[in-house]
């Protein structure tokens, strides 16, 4: 018997299209300049149609945020798995070469202008919306947990509190550099990437 992927309904496809349009508006106009009518116009639908799926602006923005963060976390997990190698769920010792490939891949993906603009808008929205801020915090908790697992694979004997601190520093390094090192800031260079990878290696491997 063959496993089949669950069927995607028309409602799910419509939601995806609406979220794609909303994401495009956020990265071009920005959240402060965008109203529900702008999101509807970008999707090519009437305002009432958009509100059928997302009754309020907050509902729409939260859906955009959750999809974006889930996508980002999935990418992080995939990059980590490719860098480490081995069957899923298998504890494979993390080598410096693994770290180099992983961090370089993350910096490249997260430094893209579209991704940076969307991240900036998400942070701006979270600063004034407690519900959005909670979703963002949950994402970074999961992100830090993943980073902590990587540190544990490289240094199994490190104490949990120390590992959590290293993981938080690693997340800060990668996330901060994705903004400052993006095309928007103009600080991207091969030398900067090499230095960031070396810093990440030091955090993870303590050497």
How far is residue 156's CA from residue 33's CA, in Å, rounded to a whole number? Answer: 49
**pLDDT number for residue 74:** 82
| Dihedrals phi, psi of 71, to nearest 5 degrees | -65, -40
For position 49, what pLDDT does the model report? 94
- Which secondary-structure segment (H or E) carries 57? helix 57-84
Q: How far apart are CA 191 and CA 207, in angstroms?
A: 19
Q: Which domains does the chain show, CATH number per domain?
A: 7-55 (1.10.10.60), 65-205 (1.10.357)
Torsion of CA 189, 192, 194, 200, to 10 degrees: -140
Angle at 12 between CA 131 and CA 44, to 5 degrees: 85
Q: What is the DSSP letter of 89?
A: T
Count of C-beta atoms within a 10 Å radius of residue 77 = 15
CB under 8 Å to 195, separation ≥6 — which residues? none
Helix, strand or coil for residue 8? coil
The pLDDT value recorded for residue 1 is 42
For the chain, give the number of residues: 207
Which one-letter DSSP state was computed for residue 98?
H
Please tell me the predicted confidence (pLDDT) of residue 176. 83
- Up-side HSE of residue 192: CA atoms within 13 Å toward CB? 16
The pTM of the full predicted model, rounded to 2 decimals, is: 0.76
Yes or no: say if 85 and 92 are a contact pair by the CB < 8 Å rule: yes
Select from 123, 164, 161, 172 the least CA-distant residue to 146: 164
Q: Angle CA(174)–CA(179)–CA(183) in degrees, nearest 5?
A: 125
**How many Å separate Cα 61 from the centre of its chain?**
16
Mean pLDDT by 10 residues, the chain (207 residues): 53 88 90 90 94 92 88 78 56 76 76 77 87 89 88 88 94 82 73 88 85
């Amino acid at each position: 018997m063959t496993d089949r992927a669950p069927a995607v309904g028309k409602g799910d496809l419509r939601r995806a299209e609406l979220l794609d349009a909303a994401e495009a508006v956020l990265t071009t106009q920005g959240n402060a300049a965008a109203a529900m009518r702008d999101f509807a116009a970008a999707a090519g639908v009437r305002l009432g149609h958009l509100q059928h799926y997302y009754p309020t602006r907050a509902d729409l923005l939260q859906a955009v945020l959750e999809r974006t963060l889930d996508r980002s976390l999935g990418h992080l997990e995939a990059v980590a798995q490719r860098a480490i190698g081995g069957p899923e769920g298998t504890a494979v010792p993390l080598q410096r070469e693994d770290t180099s490939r992983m961090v370089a891949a993350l910096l490249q993906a997260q430094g893209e202008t579209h991704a940076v603009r969307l991240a900036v808008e998400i942070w701006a929205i979270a600063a004034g919306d407690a519900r959005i801020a909670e979703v963002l915090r949950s994402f970074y908790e999961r992100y830090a947990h993943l980073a902590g697992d990587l540190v544990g694979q490289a240094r199994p004997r490190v104490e949990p509190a120390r590992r959590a601190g290293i993981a938080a520093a690693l997340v800060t390094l990668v996330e901060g550099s994705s903004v400052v090192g993006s095309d928007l800031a103009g600080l991207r260079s091969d030398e900067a990437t090499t230095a960031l990878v070396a810093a990440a290696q030091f955090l993870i491997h303590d050497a």
